[in-house]
Amino acid sequence: MDEENNKLLAKMELENGGKLEFRTYAQFVGKSGGKTKNLGGLFFFVGNRLIFEDFERQSSSLSLMFRKKTEYVKLKFQITVSEIERINTINLSQAMKVIKYNNNPKQLFEISGIRKILFRNVTQILLKDGSAYYFEIFDLKGFNTFMVEQMM
């Protein structure tokens, strides 16, 4: 890692009150009963919390000519391990129904077999209060392995 990355990580650890025990890039798709987001960012674990922090999108010069630039507002939220009921992989189209139409996320279960290969999937983090967050996670295998250990 270069010096700039080390400074950024040190700053994030200071801001979040501890060592970043796991980190990966992720696309936040949305939250149940909300709006679709599709925001890229860093998904990391500190203490007993999963934290998502988005990045400001870079606009192309063509889009700047035709569209007024909106002011960037950082999205950052956290989920404590004790809030999580289960983490599973579901079909993106199912997640979109939960996000847009407020379908019940507890009715969605892990997809498997050929469906996992043929369709675009997302990770559902179902909370004990019945709400759910949806992510496309870059290091999904590492994330799942890490979270199994945290939820024991």
In DSSP notation, 54-102 reads: E-PPPPPHHHHHHSPPPPP---EEEEEGGGEEEEEEEEHHHHHHHHHH-
Predicted confidence at residue 119, as pLDDT, reads 84
Predicted confidence at residue 69, as pLDDT, reads 63
The answer to whether residue 3 scores a pLDDT higher than 70 is: yes
Assessment of whether the complete model's pTM goes beyond 0.85: yes
- Core vs surface per residue 57-67: b (16+ CB within 10 A) or e: eeeeeeeeeee
Which 3 state secondary structure label does DSSP give 52? strand
Q: What is the CATH number for 40?
A: 2.30.29.30
Domain that holds residue 37: 3-150
pLDDT digits (tens, 9 = 90+) for 106-152: 988 888 888 778 888 999 999 999 999 999 999 999 999 999 999 88
d(CA 41, CA 34): 19
Q: With cut-offs at 50, 70 and 90, classify the pLDDT of residue 70.
A: confident
pLDDT digits (tens, 9 = 90+) for 13-28: 999 999 999 999 999 9
Number of structural domains in the chain? 1
